[in-house]
A and B are shown apart, each in its own frame.
Chain A
Amino acid sequence: MSFFSYLINGVGLGSVYAIIALGYTMVYGIAKMLNFAHGDVIMIGAYIVFVAMTSLGIPALPSLIVAMIFCLVLGVVIEKVAYRPLRNAASKLAVLITAIGVSYLLQNIALLVFGPNPKSFSNIVKLPPVSIGGINISSTTLVTIAASVVIMLVLTFFVKKTKPGQAMQAVSEDRGAAGLMGINVNGTISLTFAIGSALAAVAGALMCSSYPILDPYTGSMPGIKAFVAAVFGGIGSIPGAMIGGILLGIIENLSKAYISSQIADAIVFAVLIIVLLVRPAGLFGKNVQEKV
């Protein structure tokens, strides 16, 4: 394989990280919490697509829509049942630990329902590879990249131009003041979880289309890497999550190709540490302004 194909596969993998990181970063930006269960929602989403396609024989796109709706509801329920009661808790650690608990809960539910044996996921993109300049690129990779770009653009438009998007920005800046404007803060946070979790289903389906092994722990490592991507790009920033995700994918894939596939993850995390030493707020992170 040539450098170019390693690169494009890296961008493809990075696009998956980007979609997951968008969910992480939005929830962090608006609810001010790290939802460590986000990666496991991806896994649940992939299982729903798998069951819909393989066991029920539903075509790929409707299966994906079913999974998105399922994860959307799942995300909203998790927030309402597990996180909301702790929102005003004295310690921010409480909700963080709960998120880790929810992560294990989802993994164990998947273990119970689907069993420990890995499933072989069938690709949702049923298109032939595309040849660019003599190099064959899988259409799954191209669809993944396109999906991440479209999702980022739509989210940016949504946050900047629509009323619920503006409400998200207001809640992210000052929850109390947002409430005084007549913004339903709980509703806005629910909406954020709904969007992030629906995106997780998309990420799960696309990821398992490229890397077709699905088990209850499938979401765990990509979840952590997407978190790295979000921090890398500047947590809370939508373009930051996107760029962070793609850079991470490229670094990981090139490390696998040219250095060692065994220490690729170590290299990814080393890069994160270096970036944070140089720019503690991440590439696109805002310097936190103190209010007068």
Chain B
Amino acid sequence: MLRLEGLTKRYPTGDEALKGVDLEVPKGQVLALIGPSGAGKSTLIRCINRLVEPTGGRATLDGMNITALGVGGLRQARRRMGMIFQEYALVERLTVMENVLSGRLGYVGFWRSWFRKFPQSDVDEAFRLLDRVGLAEMCDKRADELSGGQRQRVGIARALIQDPALLLVDEPTASLDPKTSRQIMRLICELCEERGLAAIINIHDVLLAQMFVPRIVGLRLGEVVYDGPSDGLSPDVLTEIYGEEDWEATIKKDPDGDDGVDGVEIDRERLEGLI
């Protein structure tokens, strides 16, 4: 569905952030992108929706060449790619509802959005999504009144209301505590499965990636150095990605020892995340 061919980004300073990345993501597949800081993870997902302009190569979504689109075409293509950010990137002074509905901006006209008169179907969907992420009662709160985990849930709802085919997720847990991180990762993966969404998740927590995501892509200095199943990560592979270090403790010991697999446990954690 998403195909990157020789995607390259060279900044005006001469730094080569991406050196011809080839990657294919089939429909509905979630993959984690790991790699050290500065490996180009952020640049890679921003080159897909062209928040950063790639300097070479192609990115195609369902056969449509994103890299060749004009302004209008790019706007339409961006509607199909929901994005979730590290620092949540909610508009702090807008309400939760406005933040969620801003995901529909690509679909509604300027004056409707200016007067906040979104179509009823959008409002219905917004309430449904807020309910799904557990924030139905928060819709009129200002975004800056929420906790980190709650903000990220709003960010997720904003991305999903776009009705995307693909989620671009940039370090969703980097500003969250370990427990909330797991809840957010679990929520993202569940939602992707429910809706058959593909997702690229930038993450630097290797253990968290292994815990939730079946396919891992390792990026180092702008090049893909690993692409395989998450249990294929060995100390050698991690050394290849990150450099020399003792990796034994980082790798998941028991592939079946997933955290909180039973539903009761999940629900309890989710409720706690609302506090």
The judgment on whether A and B are partners is: no
Residues on B close to A: CB < 8 A?
A: none
Residues on A close to B: CB < 8 A?
A: none
